[in-house]
Chain A
């Protein structure tokens, strides 16, 4: 889990960006975690930065059946 920021709210506006073979890292994700039906997703959440500041952010991650969410990353600020 990234230590750069902490998610302090529920993720909202969850969307699937790409799925299955549309994901460049599919082979690597399957090799690392197993799982089926991988999807690259995005959503919004409030995050607390290492400075203590709280901002609204767009986050990206991968998820699959039997694995859950992996490789959470910080795309951009929304506020």
Chain B
């Protein structure tokens, strides 16, 4: 399985590199949650975007975030506690270091 396939079919998180054509739905340098979907084409990825719903976007707009299991669990706990859509990289680092609570977008 190549890395592009892994990115779109495994759960996890990706960083948005560009939002061309989707300026209101994606923010560059922001982390989004992958929703695994085996029905997608190789060029697709499904993520929860700024609207809070999951949609299909170009796979090459993103790069996978590699986190340890411990940090992934901590990040998921924060996501479950607050309704979050996109999270910036700097906000993620603060969350993982325990320096701040994630801001709710409700």
Contacts and interface: CB of A to CB of B under 8 A. Distances in A.
A50 B43 contact: yes
A74 B24 contact: no
Given A53-B41, A76-B39, A71 B24 contact: yes
B56 A75 contact: yes
Contact of A73 (B25, B37, B40): B25
Interface residues of B, number: 18
Contacts, number: 44
Interface of B: 20-22, 24-25, 37, 39-43, 49, 51-52, 55-58
A49 to B, nearest CB: 6
B67 to A, nearest CB: 27
Nearest to B55: A73
Contact of A32 (B21, B24, B39, B57): B24
Q: Is the interface of A mostly helix, strand, loop or mixed?
A: mixed
Interface of A: 1-4, 24-25, 28, 32, 49-51, 53, 55, 60, 71, 73-77
A49 B59 CA distance: 12
A2 B19 CA distance: 10
Given A53-B41, A73-B55, A75-B56, A28 B24 contact: yes
B58 A24 contact: no
